[in-house]
Structure 1
Amino acid sequence: MGRQRTIRDQNFWRSPRLLNCTTEDKVALLHLLTAPDSNITGVYPLVPRIAGAEIGWTADQWLQVIHRLQDEGLARYDHVRYVVWVRIWWDHHTATQVTGPKLRARTLEEIRRIPDEWLDDFLRDFKERLTVDQRRWINDALRPPSDPGLEEISIPHGCGIDTVSDQIRHNTKLQPKPLTETQTSYLASNKLDMSGIPAEHQTDVHRAIVKAMTSGKLRFRPQLVVNAMAESYRSASGKPQNAMALTLYLAENLSGSVPR
């Protein structure tokens, strides 16, 4: 069943914030507020060529409009990560709904994916629209896990330099996990051509394809996804920095055209 998304029409067509917008700008905003790839927070992956095709534009036309929307403070677009932030999202969607019991886990998952440079501004705008209890929940949910300080590690009196204390703090920092034997054999058997991917990003692309495959989200042949990633690295509009995130997105959303 397709989802239903309602836009507050008066808030849109009579909004003072859209006073300087052209017709193209408003069409693009409507698309951003209702795009098939949109989520419940208004910050989501979007490929210019795909977004433009859904409106009937080229990728260049879409990028020209998104630049105007950025100048007006109505949207932001990260050309490297292929992520858009619809700044007027909460003018047309209810912020309090996404903090309800049924959506809380999903909301947190989406917020944690927001680029670091946008996060503070996003949370400031988001929290202004919440109740005191909802703001408290967001603050608690996003608070980093407590780390017992070094002051909590007691050293027995008279402990010599060669004495081993039984109160050792283990390193709890998550370390990158190597590919499993099953994952490695799968990739080897498919003999993916990774020559178009920079060497330092090939492992992340590998991991993303395996993750998409094991989670059932790999909807296209792995080589097609790799080719799309290679095209992204050749693009003059910007090189992707988060190779794993973009590969995961393309594994599920890749269309017949190569993203730019």
Structure 2
Amino acid sequence: MTTVSTEQEQALAGAQGDGSAVQPCAVIVVIDPGHGDRLEAGNPIDPGAVSGKVYEKDIALDVSNKLKPKLEAKTDCIQAVYLTRDGDISEVRKRLAWRVAIAKEKKANIFISLHLDASDNASAKGQSVLYHPNSANSKSLAVAVSARANVVKPRSSGGPKPRDNLYVIKMAHFGPDTKAAVLVELGFISNESDRNACLTQADAIAQEIADGIADFILANKAIFSGAGSTPQNVPLPRPRPTDRDLPQNVPIPRPRPANL
């Protein structure tokens, strides 16, 4: 008969020696640098918001390129990181849908889209993180990312905001693997302070976002734990028989008398 040690039983039950839950997670993240694609033949590449010769698409890509290795370094919780684009997309693609299609292809657990705000009011400033109101996980991710924002502080009008009209954060567009999706407005390209921060402190901004994502994952391990987390090469204990499993109406043998 195969015996199972206490440690093996605890591993199979998802517990450590002290009884605390073990929730392995190997999260896949897809980063989406906003804009930078071509929506119609003959049209120029979509620059996003513009301030002089500064384009939203370029800042979003720069921060994304810096964010990717910072997330990859978090090997305690992140398995792989992908970008939806690593430069301008010259061929025509269906607006927004191709970005989500990449997330589905990569089986992304987290999708994060990077953008910049713009306003006619040059004093408007601050970072904001948007999530779909129907996704509690996305709200939690938005709160975690926003809590780390310091280079460009969150907008004074409040923290993360629900938005129900943004394609890339509507969970119904993603596959079952995706547990959270947010859109980060890194700051206002129309505000000199925000714009300069995004241009000169992109590395620090990327680190803040990476830390916020890791905070969210480590605080919510259970939602990323799949069937593949069962330890390998561990013998499975047989279930103990219940009363229903025992034969009914069978006389119990009397013990033999001992030799006197």
Tell whether the structures are fold-level matches, with TM greater than 0.5. no
Between Structure 1 and Structure 2, the one with more helix by share is 1
Instruction: Using CA pairs under 8 Å that are at least 6 residues apart, name the structure with larger relative contact order, 1 or 2.
Output: 2
Between Structure 1 and Structure 2, the one with more strand by share is 2
- TM-score normalised by L of structure 1: 0.22
- TM-score normalised by L of structure 2: 0.22
Higher Rg: 2
